[in-house]
Structure 1
Amino acid sequence: MSRDDEVDLLVDAWADRIPGVDFTPLDVMSRLRRVALRLNQLRADAFRSAELSSWEFDVLAALRRAVPPHEMSPMELSRATVIGTAAMSNRLENLAARGLIVRKANPADGRSNLARLTDEGMTRVDAAMLALVASEAEELERLTPQQRSQLADLLRQLGSEAG
C-alpha cells in the first residue's frame, strides 16, 4: 500500500512541525474519521434511495427489529434510538403523517400509545437496509474475509466503553 495518502501527508507535516511526538493516534483516528464520513455518505445515499432521511430510518429500523407486530412505545423508541422523548413524539407524528407508522392506544398503559410499522414503512426500511448492506459490501470488497473479521474485532475493542 502506498505511503503517500492524505493522512500520511498530514501526519508527516505535523511530525516535521513538532518533532519527537508520536503521531500514531492522529494517523489512526484521522483514518477512522475519513471512513466515518464515507459511511455517513453511504448511509445517506441508501436511505435516500428508499425516500427516507437518516432519522426516519433509525426509528423505522428500531420498529422493524422489534418482534411482530413491530410496535414500540415512544419511550422504548427513545431508548433504542438515543433520541429525547419530545423529539421522538415529533418524529412519530411525521412518520404517521407519511403513512410509515400508525399510532394506537397502548392496552398496557392507557396514558400512552404505541407506534406500529405499516406495510409501507416496512417496505421502505427494508429497501434502505438492503441498499446499505450492498453499498457497504462493495466498500469492503478490497479486504479479505479474514481482514474484515479482524477489523470488526479491532473496532469492537476500540468502541467498547470498558476500553
Structure 2
Amino acid sequence: MSAQRRDPVDAIIEQWAVERPDLDTTAMEVFGRIHRLSRAIGDRMEKAYASLGISRGEFDVLATLRRSGAPYALSPRQLSATLMLTTGGMTGRLDKLERAGLLRRSPDPHDRRGLRVTLTEQGLALVDEAVGAGLAVQTEALSAALAGEQAGLLAGLLRELLLATEK
C-alpha cells in the first residue's frame, strides 16, 4: 500500500486493523469508497443542476419523463413508482415544476379519474441540457482516474455486485 495513493477509507481500515485485527475489512473498503464516490459526484451534479435552476430531485422527475420517450408523458403513479417517492413527495415536485413551466398536468384521455404529466417544450430543452451537464461531471471524474477499458471493467464489476445485492 505504500506505493499507492491513500484515501480517507485507508485510515478507517487501518484503525480497524489495530482495534480488530481479526476482521476482513475488504467489503468495508469497497462499500466505503462507493458511498463516498456517490456522495461526492452527487454533490457535483447537484451544483450542475442548480446552475440550471433545478434540484437533483426535480431533475429526476424531468429525466424520467424524458426517458419515457415521446410524448414524454406518464401518470403521477408511474413517476412515483419509478422514483420510489410517496405520492405526497411527488405532488410537491410536480407543483414546483409545473409552476416553472417545465411540465403540465392534464386529464388522462384513457382514465377519466387519472392525470398525465407531460414535459413542456421548455422542460424538454432544460432536461436535455441538464442531462448533458450531469453526464459531463461524471465523465470528467471517471476519465481523470480511469482509462476507457478500466471504466468498462469497473462498470461490469459494479453491475455484478448490484445484481447480487438485489436478489
TM-score under structure 1 length normalisation: 0.93
Q: Is the Cα–Cα contact under 8 Å of residues 49 and 128 in structure 1 kept in the other structure?
A: no
Higher mean alpha-carbon deviation, 41-50 vs 124-133, is at 41-50
What is the alpha-carbon distance in structure 2 between the residues aligned to residue 29 and residue 3 of structure 1? 18
| Structure 1: gaps spanning 5 or more residues | none
* Alignment counterpart, residue 83 of structure 1, candidates 82, 85, 99: 85
* 1:20-31 paired onto structure 2 within 5 Å: 20-31=22-33
Task: Spell out structure 1 runs of 4+ moving beyond 4 A.
Answer: none
In the alignment, which residue of structure 1 is the partner of 2:135?
133
- Contact residue 50 and residue 125 of structure 1 kept, 8 A: no
Q: Give the distance between the partners of 1:4 and 1:140, measured in 2 at CA.
A: 18
Alignment partner of 1:143 is 2:146? yes
The whole-number CA distance in structure 1 between the counterparts of 2:154 and 2:103 is: 36
RMSD: 1.4
Give the equivalent residue in structure 1 for 2:37. 35
Using the alignment, how far apart are the partners of 2:115 and 2:160 within structure 1? 38
Partner of 1:70: 72
Q: CA deviation at 1:12?
A: 1.0
| Aligned counterparts of 1:4 and 1:93: Cα–Cα separation in 2 | 45
Render the CA deviation track for 1:7-58: whole Å, top value 9, x for unaligned. 1122111101112221112111111111111121122022112211111101
In 2: Cα distance, 1:108 partner to 1:34 partner: 45
Return 123-132 or 79-88, whichever deviates more.
79-88
How many residue pairs end up in the alignment?
A: 162
The unaligned stretches of length 5 or more in structure 2 are: none
Q: Name the SS for the 1:105 alignment partner.
A: strand
Counterpart code for 1:78: S
Question: What TM-score do you get using the length of structure 2 for normalisation?
Answer: 0.90
Q: What is the distance in 1 between the residues matched to 2:6 and 2:62?
A: 42
Give percent identity, aligned residues only: 36
Distance in 1 of aligned mates of 2:97 and 2:6: 46
Alignment of 1:1-163 (within 5 A): 2-141=4-143, 142-160=145-163, 161-162=166-167
Q: CA deviation at 1:3?
A: 5.0
Confirm or deny: 8 A CA contact 2:49 2:56 kept in the other structure: yes
Distance 1:35 1:106 in 2: 41
